[in-house]
């Protein structure tokens, strides 16, 4: 069965960086992309970007350009999302999702990132 297992919760100070992992299993990793979506406390869903696990091509949300980097490690079927220069409004649950033809069908359990001094 398809599973996406994300890394654990993080607490970071403003200005720091965070790197969240998403380990995939149950399917051919390079046949799909991975999207990243975040959700601030009590708020809606915000798309952050997408990476092709086949060739590493990326597409980032404009508001995060320059602060976010998405990568994959095909040897371990793991995707990573790094967000730099963290601010308090980056506090959110971060989700990865398997994505094919731009449709996200399986999601990770979410990783809470808290930014606080």
Partner 1 sequence: EIVMTQSPATLSVSPGERATLSCRASQSVSSNLAWYQQKPGQAPRLLIYGASTRATGIPARFSGSGSGTEFTLTISSLQSEDFAVYYCQQYNTWTFGQGTKVEIK
Q: Which one of 29, 32, 50, 80 is in contact with partner 1 (CB under 8 A)?
A: 50
- Is 27 one of the binding residues for partner 1 (CB under 8 A)? no
- Is 46 one of the binding residues for partner 1 (CB under 8 A)? yes
CA 94 to chain centre: 6
- Is 45 one of the binding residues for partner 1 (CB under 8 A)? yes
Q: Which of residues 78-107 bind partner 1 (CB under 8 A)?
A: 95, 97, 102-105, 107
Q: Which is nearer to partner 1, 29 or 50 (CB)?
A: 50
Residue 79 has φ and ψ, to the nearest 5°, of -105, 150
b/e sequence 10-32, b meaning 16+ C-beta within 10 Å: bebeeeeebebbbbbeebebeeb
Residues 40 and 92: beta-carbon distance below 8 Å: yes
Binding residues for partner 1 (CB under 8 A) = 35, 37, 44-47, 50, 61-62, 95, 97, 102-105, 107-110
């Amino acid at each position: 069965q398809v599973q996406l297992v994300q890394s654990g919760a993080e607490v970071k100070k403003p200005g720091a960086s965070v790197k969240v992992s998403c380990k995939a299993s149950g399917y051919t990793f390079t046949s799909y992309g991975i999207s990243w979506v975040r959700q601030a406390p009590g708020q809606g869903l915000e798309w952050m970007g997408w990476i092709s696990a086949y060739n590493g091509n990326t597409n980032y949300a404009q508001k995060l350009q320059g602060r976010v980097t998405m990568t994959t490690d095909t040897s371990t079927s793991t995707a990573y999302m790094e967000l730099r220069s963290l601010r308090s409004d980056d506090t959110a649950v971060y989700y990865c999702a398997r994505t094919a033809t731009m449709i996200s069908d399986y999601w990770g359990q979410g990783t809470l990132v808290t930014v606080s001094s």
